[in-house]
């Protein structure tokens, strides 16, 4: 089945599935929360208009300074980008022709950008048999002769969180092996800064942290991400970056998001509530599920149920799930769902329950 490699593109998914999209559908394939962007954006929208008439700051100010203050780092430890996806192109160029370790299943952009630079990819396959947990010893055993290892934390697509202590253990081994540790923290905001490795960055110069602004703040259309690393690494990563790669609107709005702890906490509490309700539902329906700490989770159907038929039937009902054909080791047998409003999640549970009862 030839399907898009990413979520958040339901009309293309319907087209490539050969299914006529219903008049209304619910998209669970993206991980954008249902609360919308912070209110200050709409309230000050007209005030952003003058930004369109001048070139943006080449270093993405005022965003860079705001990010540095938020993480208690220096500005030379931070670079902003046109979404985290741009940062992964910088990293791939850094590892051109070198050996890089990926923990599969993984975000497809890792492999796509690395293969474009002829990197040699070594895989560590996570398994549903131990609930997709990372085997730290298996990672440490692969570090020799490797330029980098990519770890997504919390993991996409399962939402499973690796503790800071385990990350430190891996980081120490990376230092000994001369291998860089790339930590993708795109969804860490849904847990909190206490789970981030950013606090320890200055003690681990071989660590590179990638962050996203689009998930927590529901500003995917603006494309804004940033990378945290030692000053020398930041300089090397951005050496070939496009000038003015972050527009003024993104830089200004992004800088205004960091102080919004009440907003973040509201999102976290709502996501946790809906995720826990889904977990209880899956227990009652004998479905397997990942032990997610993020605003999404993955699940598989009870034994004997056809995942391909389920996916297609859900599409016909206007329920768009994130398929996992592009996630190695899941291979379409699992599905990922982003947490939405309680009413929307109720509809999802209703449709899954009906399908399981009938099929």
Contacts of residue 79, defined as CB under 8 A and 6 or more positions apart, other chains included, come to: 60, 64, 87, 226, 227, 234, 237, 238, 241
Q: How many CA atoms lie within 13 A of 190 on its CB side?
A: 32
Both 308 and 226 in one domain: the answer is no
Q: Write down which residue in 209, 233, 259 finishes a domain.
A: 259
* Mean pLDDT value across residues 123-138: 96
Both 172 and 311 in one domain: the answer is no
Both 94 and 225 in one domain: the answer is yes
Looking up residue 174, the CATH number of its domain turns out to be 3.40.640.10
Quickly count: other Cβ atoms within 10 Å of residue 269's Cβ. Answer: 10
How many helices and strands, by DSSP H and E, does the chain display?
12, 12
* Mean pLDDT value across residues 283-293: 97
Both 202 and 115 in one domain: the answer is yes
Distance of CA 142 to the CA centre of its chain: 24
Both 208 and 283 in one domain: the answer is no
3: pLDDT strictly greater than 80: no
315: pLDDT strictly greater than 60: yes
What are 193-208's pLDDT values in tens digits?
999 999 999 999 999 9
Q: Is residue 49 part of a domain?
A: no
Burial of 333 (C-beta count, 10 Å sphere; 0-12/13-18/19+)? middle
Residue 254 pLDDT class (50, 70, 90 cuts): very high
Tell me the pLDDT of the chain averaged across its residues. 95
With b meaning 16 or more CB within 10 Å and e meaning fewer, what string describes 33-60?
A: bbeebbeebeeeeeeeeeeeeeebbebb
If one counts the domains in the chain, the total is 2
Tell me if residue 226 falls in helix, strand or coil.
Answer: strand
What are 13-60's pLDDT values in tens digits?
888 888 999 989 999 999 889 999 999 999 999 999 999 999 999 999
Looking up residue 343, the CATH number of its domain turns out to be 3.90.1150.10
Comparing 331 with 285, the larger pLDDT belongs to 285
pTM: 0.95
pLDDT of residue 60: 97
Range of the domain at 287: 10-30+262-357
Q: What is the DSSP string of 11-32?
A: HHHHHHHT-PPPSS-EE-SS--
Asked if residue 247 lies in contact with residue 318, where contact means CB atoms within 8 angstroms, the answer is no
Q: Is residue 301 part of a domain?
A: yes
What are 271-283's pLDDT values in tens digits?
999 999 999 999 9
Distance CA 219, CA 40 (A): 13
Distance CA 307, CA 1 (A): 13
């Amino acid at each position: 089945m030839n399907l898009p490699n990413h979520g958040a593109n339901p009309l293309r998914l319907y087209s490539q599935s050969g299914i006529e999209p219903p008049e209304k559908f619910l998209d669970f394939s993206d991980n954008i929360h249902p609360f919308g962007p912070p209110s200050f954006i709409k309230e000050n929208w007209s005030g952003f208009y003058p930004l369109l008439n001048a070139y943006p700051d080449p270093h993405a100010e005022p965003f860079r300074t705001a990010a540095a203050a938020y993480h208690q780092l220096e500005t030379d430890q931070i670079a902003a980008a046109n979404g985290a996806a741009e940062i992964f192109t910088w990293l791939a160029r850094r590892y051109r022709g070198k050996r890089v370790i990926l923990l599969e299943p993984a975000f497809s952009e890792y492999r796509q950008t690395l293969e474009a630079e002829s990197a040699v990819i070594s895989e560590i396959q996570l398994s549903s048999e131990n609930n997709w947990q990372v085997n730290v010893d298996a990672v440490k055993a692969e570090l020799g002769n490797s330029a980098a290892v990519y770890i997504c934390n919390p993991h996409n697509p399962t939402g499973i969180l690796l503790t800071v202590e385990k990350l430190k253990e891996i980081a120490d081994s990376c230092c000994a092996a001369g291998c860089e540790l790339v930590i993708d923290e795109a969804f860490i905001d849904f847990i909190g800064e206490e789970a981030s490795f950013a606090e320890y960055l200055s003690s681990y110069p071989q660590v590179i942290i990638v962050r996203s602004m689009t998930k927590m703040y529901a500003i995917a259309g603006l494309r804004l991400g940033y990378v945290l690393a030692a000053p020398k690494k930041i300089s090397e990563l951005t050496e070939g970056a496009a000038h003015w790669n972050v527009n003024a609107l993104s830089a200004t709005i992004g800088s205004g998001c960091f102080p919004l702890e009440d907003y973040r906490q509201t999102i976290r509490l709502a996501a946790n509530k809906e995720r826990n309700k889904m977990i209880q539902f899956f227990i009652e329906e004998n479905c397997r599920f990942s032990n997610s700490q993020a605003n999404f989770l993955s699940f598989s159907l009870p034994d004997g149920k056809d995942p391909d038929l389920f996916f297609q039937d859900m599409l016909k009902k206007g329920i768009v799930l994130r398929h996992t054909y592009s996630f190695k080791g899941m291979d379409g047998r699992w599905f990922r769902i982003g947490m939405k409003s309680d009413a929307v999640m109720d509809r999802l549970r209703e449709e899954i329950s009906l399908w399981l009862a009938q099929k």
